[in-house]
Amino acid sequence: MPDERDRPPAGPFTIRGAVMHTPCLGGLERHQDAALEVAADGAVAALHPAGSEGFAAAVAAAARAGTLLALSPAHTLIPGFVDLHVHAPQWPQAGRALDLPLERWLQQYTFPLESRYADLDFARAVYDDLVGCLLANGTTSAVYFATIHEAPSLELARVCLRAGQRAFVGLVAMDDAAECPDFYRNADAAQAIAATRRHIDGVRDLPGNEAGLVRPIITPRFIPACTDALLHGLGRLAQETGCLVQTHCSESDWEHGFVAARTGRSDTASLDGFGLLRRHSILAHGNLIGDDDMDLIAGSGAAIAHCPISNVFFSDAVFPLHKALQRGLLVGLGTDLAGGYSPSVLDNARQAVLSARLLASGVDPDRDRSMRGQGDAARIGFREAFWLATAGGGDALGLPVGRFTQGSRFDAILLDADAPGSNIRLHPGESDDDRLQALFGATRANMAGVWVDGRRVAGTRA
């Protein structure tokens, strides 16, 4: 197997063709013809729309150097997707047992499955398969929960690095004997904190990871599974190491109520008290956060991983996405494999639009229309959903990815509408918004090329 250190440098190269991105929330920039220059270090050097100063020279220079990739009319270059919340070990149960409520799903299916990752060979096989699948679906950055097992969780980081995926990998911490089964929990808070410290060092020191493509992330599973000692200890560790934090927050009535009963406060306020609500902390779900919670999250610079498919099954309510964006929260998307059944961020972007639409219109036909939903203000549009899947996710993590602005890392997907098995048809002359909405129908069959940091890492075309 080739060593990741032997990989050739990324660029420089230039891609000429249709380019689309959402550099800011609500903004859509599409060029039917443009030249996107990628520098030798994998950064976006420039985006020249056809006819602009620099376009012809950039195309000519790349053609002379033999580094021009000319796209066909069926192609569109878009930023890679950011998945803010994936449980890597749950991949084997994707789509299963979603008829159960969260608390039974965890105890009957999830904890027994996750306990099997003590077996390093089993872990490596699943993680290899998952990371390849996510890259093929255009996920260029992923934020993973692994399990409580140290070597297998470090192996997930190694798999991401080898495959060339940008990733945050978390060793799960869960020590509360009242909520976690004997066969799957940390011995105590001190053991979990020491293991997390080793995981942080291990990921940072992986050979070939000098640029930090793969990073550790501190991962208390959720308040119900952790003692106060563990939560406080991990908050101190985040402060000391500067590592990002991820956890679940106000996901369902059961979970939200459990925390309120134990701490007398909301999840958000409790996490803040434990020192875990920090800049770029990733809070999964957040469906039941109130206005005060939103203010706390916005003020701290933490972010919500909105997981709209998983939420349909486990959340008991629709996340107030439009309101959160209006109040200035950082928000991106998560598949929440395997609470969510789909490995595709694009599927979740589409579901974000659908769920917001249902929140707006309401769902109970026995109620009068005026009483049924929150009203049209709760909707979100396709532009916003695309932004969440790309730049919104990048901003949530503080990473320069998700848009083709100069200096961003070149993480990108080449969509081919004419690929074998394509479900989408493009029509010449359609508006930017029509084209954007059409491309929401893309599947992995359309993903002809996927790049991370300027390196080609996946795609259906050789």
Binding interface with ligand GUN (CB under 6 A):
87, 102, 106, 110, 221-222, 248, 251, 310, 314, 336, 339
Whose Cβ is closer to Fe ion: residue 89's or residue 320's? Answer: 89
Closest approach of Cβ 337 to Fe ion, in Å? 8
Residue 251 touches which of Fe ion, ligand GUN, none (Cβ within 5-8 Å per kind): ligand GUN
Whose Cβ is closer to ligand GUN: residue 145's or residue 387's? Answer: 145
Closest approach of Cβ 435 to ligand GUN, in Å? 34
Closest approach of Cβ 151 to ligand GUN, in Å? 21
Q: Quick one: tokens of 262?
A: 């134990």
The Cα–Cα gap between 239 and 8 comes to 36
Closest approach of Cβ 214 to ligand GUN, in Å? 21
Closest approach of Cβ 34 to ligand GUN, in Å? 40
Residue 256 touches which of Fe ion, ligand GUN, none (Cβ within 5-8 Å per kind): none
Whose Cβ is closer to Fe ion: residue 14's or residue 90's? Answer: 90
Using DSSP bridges, classify how beta strands 455-458 and 282-285 pair: parallel, antiparallel or unpaired.
Answer: unpaired
Closest approach of Cβ 87 to Fe ion, in Å? 6
Whose Cβ is closer to ligand GUN: residue 147's or residue 390's? Answer: 147
Residue 110 touches which of Fe ion, ligand GUN, none (Cβ within 5-8 Å per kind): ligand GUN
The Cα–Cα gap between 11 and 9 comes to 6
Which residue in this structure is represented by tokens 């990073």?
215
Whose Cβ is closer to ligand GUN: residue 221's or residue 280's? Answer: 221
Residue nearest to ligand GUN (CB): 339
Whose Cβ is closer to ligand GUN: residue 167's or residue 415's? Answer: 167
Whose Cβ is closer to ligand GUN: residue 253's or residue 432's? Answer: 253
The site for Fe ion (CB under 5 A) is made up of 284, 336
Residue 314 touches which of ligand GUN, Fe ion, none (Cβ within 5-8 Å per kind): ligand GUN
Closest approach of Cβ 271 to ligand GUN, in Å? 14
Residue 267 touches which of ligand GUN, Fe ion, none (Cβ within 5-8 Å per kind): none
Whose Cβ is closer to ligand GUN: residue 76's or residue 287's? Answer: 287
Closest approach of Cβ 265 to Fe ion, in Å? 21
**Which residues does 383 contact at the CB level (< 8 Å), separation at least 6?**
22, 26, 27, 28, 433, 436
